[in-house]
Structure 1
């Protein structure tokens, strides 16, 4: 199996919306985003699948060393080998990959957030920086265009806020609560009730508040995208359309996120991605 085949297999196995959004890219950029996505999956799986904290930290330390190997021209892992040819042509910064690992380590170190400022900082590490790297891969007319990078960062944060809403119950079962404590207090929802899967206070109002925050973040992202980069950034817009539909589906389901995890079907994801490519 070649490094590119390894990454393709990793992406296909995940069933993620990312797979449907970037499968319509030109071959070279598709290989680049697939390799980057596989890197994100590798480090994310450590947090989700390794229960021993010391082992998880050791594995993240391995990836930090492997990032340095990659930028020294000596990648060892199939993912970094697949990513290597794209680093210089697409101006992918080393610090960005380290920031992705920082976000994964924060999931180990921190399981509660006092306010939205704390959560926003996490969202940047977990998703905003992923948006920036992805935008570079999709194509930016003027390298390092700050407006396009700000769009991508904001869009990544919108996707992460959607993930947080979708995964309230799943995260609580892992003793993680990403909803800010100040929001819980505002709506009279206790942390202990979330951990029990039994909402207290005005849980519906709390989740409507989270919905509006996420929806507003999508709107801010769309407004930031320069017209000159809109066509190149269609994969990100396709991802946004898929996740925005998921957000609406969660609302239509009555925010029953403590009971189950809402998901879109693969056919619907593919349809949304194709439609976005066709009309964006």
Structure 2
């Protein structure tokens, strides 16, 4: 199996909504974004699937060395080999890939965030940086597009956090800021014990409203001249906002249930959004 086939399989197997936004890209850009996405999956899986913290740290350290090897021309992992080709054609910086790993490192070191400022740093590293790299692959003319990519990445990560409150709690993690839990009178134990309340639903409404604001802010910053090249991001925004609105319509029932869109629905949203441009 060649490196790009490995990345393709990694992306497809994840079942992520991101996969559907890549389908309509021309081959060079599709291969590049698949390689970037596979890299993100690999380092994210280290944190989510390795229960021994020492082993997880060792694996992340290995990926730091592999990232340096990508830019030194000597990677060994299929994803590294694919990215070695990608960085020749697209402006993906070593510091950006290392910062994504820094975000995963945060998951090994903390399970709570005191306020939105602290959470924002985490979201920047694991999502906004990915958005900035993706914008380079998709192509743009106006630097303003990078502000759009940054905020759209943040909106995506906030959506993930909202969707996965229950799943994360079962891993002992709560990404909702501590000061916001206190403001809405929702003890952390209530989330860890998957107990619903009117206060929790109000907290989720607040989280959903903020994510929607970041979608609006991101889309307002996308220059008209770059809209066509950045269509994959628009596809993702359409899919993720649909998911977010499903969660709202379901009353924020995220402690015991993981809202998801069917593959057919994702494909329909992707196709119609791509055609609209």
TM-score, normalised to structure 1's length?
A: 0.97
Q: How far apart are residue 150 of structure 1 and its match?
A: 1.2
Match in the other structure for 2:250: 253
| 1:8 Cα deviation from its structure 2 partner | 0.7
Q: How far apart in 1 are the matches of 2:195 and 2:203? A: 14
Question: How many pairs were matched up?
Answer: 277
State how 1:69-88 maps to structure 2 within 5 Å.
Answer: 69-88=69-88
Contact 1:189/1:201, CA 8 A, preserved across alignment:
no
- 1:42-69 Cα offsets, whole Å, 9 max, x none, are 0000001000001000000000000100
The question of whether the paired residues in 2 share the 8 Å contact of 1:132 and 1:153 is answered with yes
Does the 8 Å CA contact 1:135/1:233 hold for their aligned counterparts? yes
Q: Is the 8 A contact 1:207 1:255 kept in 2?
A: yes
Rounded to whole Å, the distance in 2 between the matches of 1:213 and 1:277 is: 26
Aligned to 1:8: 8
Structure 1 residue 73: Cα displacement: 1.2
Alpha-carbon distance in 1 for matches of 2:85, 2:170: 40
Establish whether residue 161 from structure 1 lines up as the match of residue 184 from structure 2: no
Q: Which residue matches 2:276?
A: 279
In the TM superposition, residue 89 of structure 1 has moved relative to its aligned partner by: 2.0
CA contact (8 A) 1:190 1:200 kept: no
Partner SS, residue 24 of structure 2: coil
Contact preservation (8 Å) 1:138, 1:233? yes
Alpha-carbon distance between aligned partners in 2 of 1:23 and 1:264, rounded to the nearest angstrom: 17
Alignment of 1:210-225 (within 5 A): 210-225=207-222
Structure 1 segments of 4+ aligned residues over 6 angstroms from their partners: none
Let me know the Cα RMSD of the aligned residues: 0.9
The normalised TM-score by structure 2 is: 0.98
Match of 1:179 among 165, 176, 181: 176
Inter-partner Cα distance in structure 1 for 2:263 and 2:229: 24
For residues 171-228 of structure 1, the C-alpha deviation after alignment (integer angstroms, 9 at most, x for no partner) is: 1111100001111111110001110111356111111000100000000000111111
Using the alignment, how far apart are the partners of 1:97 and 1:173 within structure 2? 28
Partner secondary structure for residue 136 of structure 1: helix
**How far apart, in 2, do the equivalents of 1:200 and 1:254 lie?**
11
Paired position in structure 1 for 2:124: 124
Instruction: Using the TM superposition, give the Cα deviation of residue 141 of structure 1 relative to its aligned residue in structure 2, in angstroms.
Output: 2.1
